[in-house]
């Protein structure tokens, strides 16, 4: 009997491993083989005298910005006693709520002290949500802020440009392409590649930094590549390249070397190639040592960052092509951000989520079926020796799902906080795999007991129709959960 249980367990594990392999894509990111040549470690901008923050006092006020149908507030900061007219910068937010009170506080003030008027508007939120956002429409909204700053007393309308951070890097090129009067574009921590590609790249980088087992990486294309549950997320495949290929303005790109979420080398290379389509060679790239996604080190803006921006803006057009064009710390990007493989049969997120919910629901419904039958005084007795392996199998399926969810949440927290914890990362995944294996063994025990029951007089699994309903309800739920667990890689055997 023990031999049959072991053999059945082995066969079950192999079947589930094969099922997991064929139901979705694997993850094999390609290495980046063409690095970007750094001309000098100094980020200082050539072609103009340095402009240092702190040179001028500033005046700050809150002004309304009338958009199409709504109004937002904005923080306007202008240098006092600077030779007028001064250049100006409108800030375009990254992902999130984007309130002027919280975003770009340091950048806007320090640039203003260097003689550049700055305007930080609130992000329009009535058309912006996790599921739905439109970068072309967002560009139209931010354009109202550009027009307002151009009309501000003391600001040179011909020298007003855009500073976009992170997600704003998909908005700013649209603005620049649609408004050739835009004087310049500053891209800080720009993703450049479509959002879905950037998300997969970021997840890969975070997981590698956290030290998760390689077998976990299979989940990346299966989670990021599917159509997300509930619909929406159309912007996930937004491609900004057509707008970048129409960008004729000078571009300043800034990345921090401690930003694992962005393709810091590939992004710069792509922008340089895209704007060249319009005959534009005015791209300046800077990498700041130890800086994060916000170009900050230990909560403060990276040394020289605002100085470089101010010098570059004030020195235009001479600084647009002044050497060094690519400078700063050596950036590191190991893999390319590429199109994400699409799942074969589980590409619909509603289906993926529905299978798990249905499986868990059926497993929890089975005991209620038995209980209801007992209360109704109907025969629900299971065959002798079948109750405990049946219950153990169902409980093990649920336990594996719960443990897998816990593990994914735990490593997500560690990854986002740039932390390592071998006990959670390695030990947690081992625990998930072991409980999954125990589930397969419980199934093998159930199969063996079922085989024995069928050889006994009567051979009935349960007494009464309700008993059969309860048994098959539990088995159907467990089967759905096993398929889901296989899909997410719990039973991988190197296949």
Domains (range + CATH), the chain = 2-24+346-487 (no CATH), 58-194+238-328 (3.40.50.1820)
DSSP letter at 166 equals: G
Q: Is the pLDDT of residue 265 over 90?
A: yes
In the predicted model, what is the mean pLDDT of residues 198-210? 92
**Residue 87 main-chain phi, psi, to 5 deg:** -70, 165
In the predicted model, what is the mean pLDDT of residues 231-254? 96
Which is higher by pLDDT, 434 or 421? Answer: 434
pLDDT at 11: 86
* 395 membership: H or E segment, kind and range: helix 387-416
**Residue pLDDT, tens place only, 429-453:** 999 999 999 999 998 888 887 777 6
Question: pLDDT-based confidence at 495, cuts 50/70/90?
Answer: low
Q: Is the pLDDT of residue 254 over 90?
A: yes
**Residue pLDDT, tens place only, 172-198:** 999 999 999 999 999 999 999 999 999
Mean pLDDT, rounded, of the chain: 91
Which is higher by pLDDT, 319 or 413? Answer: 319
Positive or negative torsion for Cα 165, 166, 171, 175: positive
3-state secondary structure of 97: coil
Q: Is the pLDDT of residue 376 over 80?
A: no
Question: pLDDT-based confidence at 217, cuts 50/70/90?
Answer: very high
Nearest to 24 by CA among 327, 455, 355, 314: 355
Spatial distance between the Cα atoms of 140 and 142, rounded to a whole number of angstroms: 6
In the predicted model, what is the mean pLDDT of residues 454-481? 74
Rounded to the nearest angstrom, the gap between the alpha carbon of residue 104 and the centroid of all alpha carbons in its chain is 22
Spatial distance between the Cα atoms of 90 and 179, rounded to a whole number of angstroms: 14
pLDDT at 446: 82
Which is higher by pLDDT, 347 or 140? Answer: 140
Which is higher by pLDDT, 288 or 392? Answer: 288
């Amino acid at each position: 009997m023990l031999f049959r249980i072991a053999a059945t367990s082995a066969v079950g594990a192999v079947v589930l491993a094969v099922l997991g392999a064929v139901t979705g894509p694997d993850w094999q990111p390609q290495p980046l083989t063409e690095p970007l040549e750094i001309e000098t470690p100094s980020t200082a901008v050539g072609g103009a005298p340095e402009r240092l923050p702190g040179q001028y006092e500033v005046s700050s006020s809150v002004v309304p910005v009338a958009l199409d149908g709504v109004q937002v507030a904005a923080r306007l900061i202008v240098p006092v006693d600077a030779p007028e007219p001064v250049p100006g910068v409108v800030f375009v937010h990254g992902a999130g709520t984007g309130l002027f009170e919280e975003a770009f506080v340091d950048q806007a003030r320090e640039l203003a002290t260097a003689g550049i008027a700055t305007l930080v508007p609130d992000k329009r939120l009535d058309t912006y949500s996790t599921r739905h956002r439109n970068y072309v429409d967002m560009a139209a909204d931010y354009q109202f802020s550009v027009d307002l700053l151009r009309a501000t007393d003391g600001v040179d309308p011909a020298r007003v440009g855009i500073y976009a951070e992170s997600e704003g890097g998909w908005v700013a090129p649209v603005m620049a392409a649609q408004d050739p009067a835009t004087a310049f574009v500053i891209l800080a921590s720009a993703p450049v590649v479509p959002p879905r590609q950037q998300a997969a790249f970021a997840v890969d980088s975070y997981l590698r930094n956290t030290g998760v087992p390689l077998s976990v990486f299979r989940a990346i294309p299966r989670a990021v590549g599917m159509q997300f549950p509930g619909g929406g997320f159309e912007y996930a495949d937004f491609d900004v390249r057509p707008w970048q290929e129409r960008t004729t303005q000078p571009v300043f790109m800034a990345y921090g070397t401690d930003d694992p979420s962005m393709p810091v080398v590939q992004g710069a290379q792509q922008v340089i190639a895209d704007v060249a389509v319009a005959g534009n060679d005015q791209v300046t790239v800077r990498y700041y040592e130890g800086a994060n996604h916000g170009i900050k080190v230990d909560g403060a803006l990276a040394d020289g960052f605002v100085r470089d921006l101010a010098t570059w803006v004030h020195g235009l057009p001479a600084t647009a092509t002044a050497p060094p064009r690519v400078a700063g710390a050596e950036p590191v990007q190991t893999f390319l951000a590429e199109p994400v493989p699409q799942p074969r049969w589980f590409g619909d997120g509603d289906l993926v989520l529905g299978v798990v919910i249905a499986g868990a629901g059926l497993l929890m419904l089975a005991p209620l079926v038995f209980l209801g039958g007992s209360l109704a005084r109907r025969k629900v007795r299971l065959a002798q020796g079948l109750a405990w392996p049946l219950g153990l199998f169902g409980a093990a399926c649920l336990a594996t799902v719960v443990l897998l969810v816990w593990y994914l949440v735990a490593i997500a927290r560690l990854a986002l906080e740039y932390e390592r914890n071998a006990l959670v990362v390695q030990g947690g995944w081992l625990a998930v795999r072991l409980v999954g294996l125990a589930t397969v063994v419980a199934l093998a025990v159930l199969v063996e007991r079922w085989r024995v029951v069928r050889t006994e007089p009567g051979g009935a699994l349960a007494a009464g129709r309700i008993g059969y309903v309860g048994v098959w309800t539990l088995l159907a739920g467990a089967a759905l959960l096993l398929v889901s667990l296989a899909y997410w890689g719990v039973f991988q055997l190197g296949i």
